[in-house]
Amino acid sequence: MNATLCAGCPDTVVITMPDGPPYTAGDEMTCSSDGFPAATYAWTVDASSDSSASTQDLQEGENTYVCTATVTFDDGTTCSSSETRTETAYSKYQKQ
């Protein structure tokens, strides 16, 4: 049996949300993509770099999250695609 693997840019980037809403600060979102070879991820929160993992914690308040999936080919060239979500997360602590 022969297998042919094709390299490809990520056509689809998906941000998977935790159970909710409502969301709580610290809940974790997950980013995934269909690129090959496997993509690396970078998150920005309100245009500031935040994480280079496939997961990102929600921060308190309303924030805009962008996950960028980047595929690096054997020859060093790269291509990327992004997904954006604006979500609100509430504090874990409630005023009494």
Question: What CATH number corresponds to the domain at position 74?
Answer: 2.60.40
**Number of compact structural domains in the chain:** 1
Residues 53-67 have pLDDT tens digits of: 999 999 999 999 999
Q: Which of 61, 36, 66 is nearest to 50 (CA)?
A: 66
Enclosing domain of residue 17: 13-88
Residues 13-28 have pLDDT tens digits of: 999 999 989 999 999 9
What's this model's pTM, rounded to 2 decimal places?
0.86
Note whether residue 3 is domain-resident: no
The pLDDT of 27-43, averaged and rounded, is 95
d(CA 59, CA 26): 6
Give the CA radius of gyration of the chain.
Answer: 16
